[in-house]
Amino acid sequence: MGMTVVGVGGWPVTVEAFVGRGLPSLIVTGLPGATVQDARERIRPAVEHAGLEWPLRRVVVNLAPGNLRKDGAGLDLPIAVGVLAATGQVPSNRLAGVVLAGELSLRGEVLSTPGILSMVIAAVRARYRTVVVPEANAVEAAQVGGIDVVPVATLERAVAYLRGTWEPPEVGPATTDGWRAPDVDLADVRGQVQARRALEVAAAGGHNLLLVGSPGAGKTMLARRLPSILPSLTRDEALEASQLHSIVGLLAGSGLLHARPFRSPHHTISTAGLLGGGSTLLRPGEASLAHRGVLFLDELTEFRRDAIEALRQPLEDGAVVVARAGGSVTFPARFTLIAAANPCPCGFRGDLVRTCTCRDDHLGRYRAKLSGPLLDRIDLRLSIPRLTKHELLGANDGEASAAVRARVVAARERQLERYADIGITCNAHLPGPIVRRHAGLNGAAERYLGRAVDTVALSGRGFDRVLRVARTVADLAGCNRVDVDHVREALSYREALDEIGRVQSAS
């Protein structure tokens, strides 16, 4: 039995080999994708290199179920073993309850293979007892539990195991699960009190955040510290996120992800790179690799417009649908977006020291880039000033990540409890229609917000955003009801808009 991966899910594939009359050849039937067709060239040399015999007859390998397209080099090993079983070189009865997965080299090595985690999860679900995997992916495979993992470095070893002449070693201990402190800390950040607070609110409520400020203000520095204050991955989240990393081959040699992923793609990235895609094998994009973590778009205005616009779907649905011939595939992509940008092309608009040298038309074009559908989905928008001399030279009195993180964790727990019935985990994911029901404003806060609607011309969407953020501010304070102060703080995170321009100020 083999496995193929579709999207993030593993699917069992039955490999049946027939050796019959005819000229020596290997034919694979049952909807093999291009990667599986390639296997035909690898398998015979691999078998011969392992000191085994390739039948000099016509070999037909059928992959079932026939309606499922099979892709991935992981089918090399089960196909080779299927042929060896059909020629009596491997005892067929030993194959019952066993799943095999692994790419073969021409020399019969079993190579590190993408997607092993998804395959093992599917194997456990389908109640297989044993899974034979590449040695390089053994630790990854062992994280799932509930199935025996047999690590093999060569086809020869796999055959020896099935013949009962080789006893596989125990796979090393599960590497520590849970939160590990990232190597950067908020304590490194001087001043920037408001930006630090916005980072905390973003972490606590899962809100997307835009930082606007002049060069060197510390935008990149702040953004990189967001993971250090996020709650640790639950085991289920770690499994989900790790599967996506496994599919692109980023997990080999290690166990599950420890810390929440932090992805910061370069602004030259293509839409496919950001969202996922590919011609033969579909790969998840950066948005999915950031699943359960942070997607950081530094220099937001430099990104391709179509790539940015394509992010709307994951921001709304928490998933990406990638189309391909014969259907589409869904990759999870639930992340917190943090974006950074300069206020204008020269970077110094609104700066306390330097003056902006931008021409009006350039400024207009630049600001137009920052408007639009993506910005609409960013709850927190903040302009950050450059540090004053006093702040730069003064004592480093910034609070450390661990202390901030403790407040974030407490606020998240309040949200989990409140939303247990509606299946969301944080305020940022509150659907528009029910945000009011859960916000819990007291009378004074209602009146305050009512006045704000008029003075700052809040739109319906903007109104919902303020409610969500105010709810998070209240959760951080441990309050059941949202008070005036919470609303006031939430309203302050619309400030960057005025800096960036009028285009968004009405949204």
Ligand X SMILES: Nc1ncnc2c1ncn2[C@@H]1O[C@H](COP(=O)(O)OP(=O)(O)OP(=O)(O)O)[C@@H](O)[C@H]1O
Tell me how many degrees the CA angle 258-414-464 measures, rounded to the nearest 5.
100
Query: Quick one: 143 or 383, whose CB is closer to Mg ion?
Result: 383
Q: Does 264 bind Mg ion (CB under 5 A)?
A: no
Token readout for 75 is 């089918």
Helix (H, G, I), strand (E, B) or coil at 455: helix
Name which position in 220, 280, 313, 505 contacts Mg ion (CB under 5 A).
Answer: 220
Query: 156, 108 in Cβ contact below 8 A?
Result: yes
Query: Quick one: 367 or 471, whose CB is closer to Zn ion?
Result: 367
Token readout for 427 is 């305020």
Query: Quick one: 128 or 348, whose CB is closer to ligand X?
Result: 348
Query: Quick one: 349 or 418, whose CB is closer to Zn ion?
Result: 349
- Closest among 275, 373, 304, 294 to 339, alpha carbons compared: 294
Q: Does 281 bind Zn ion (CB under 5 A)?
A: no
Selection from Zn ion, Mg ion, ligand X, none that 387 binds (CB < 5 to 8 A by kind) is ligand X
Query: Quick one: 220 or 264, whose CB is closer to Mg ion?
Result: 220
Binding mask 161-200 for Mg ion (x = CB under 5 A): ----------------------------------------
Name which position in 358, 410, 444, 479 contacts Zn ion (CB under 5 A).
Answer: 358
As measured in angstroms, the least distance from the Cβ of 222 to Mg ion is 9
As measured in angstroms, the least distance from the Cβ of 308 to Mg ion is 17
* CA-derived radius of gyration, the chain: 27
75 sits in the region (left: phi over 0; alpha: psi -120 to 50; else beta) called: alpha
Could you write out the DSSP letters of every residue in 297-337? ETTGGGS-HHHHHHTHHHHHHSEEEEEETTEEEEEE---EE
Number of residues that bind Mg ion (CB under 5 A): 2
Q: Which residues of this chain interact with ligand X, rule CB under 6 A? A: 189-192, 213, 215-221, 340, 342, 387
SS (HEC) of 107-147 = CCEEECCCCHHHHHHHHHHCCCCEEEEEHHHHHHHHCCCCC
Q: Does 344 bind Zn ion (CB under 5 A)?
A: yes
Q: Report cis status (omega within 30 of 0) of the bond before 261.
A: no
User: Which residue stretch of 175-183, 239-247, 327-335, 347-355 sits at the interface with Zn ion (rule: CB under 5 A)?
Assistant: 347-355
As measured in angstroms, the least distance from the Cβ of 299 to Mg ion is 7
User: Which residue stretch of 19-27, 320-328, 356-364, 397-405 sits at the interface with Zn ion (rule: CB under 5 A)?
Assistant: 356-364
CA distances from 361 to 216, 305, 357, 358, 490 (A): 25, 19, 12, 8, 32
Give the footprint of Mg ion on this chain (CB under 5 A): 219-220
Give the footprint of Zn ion on this chain (CB under 5 A): 344, 346, 349, 356, 358
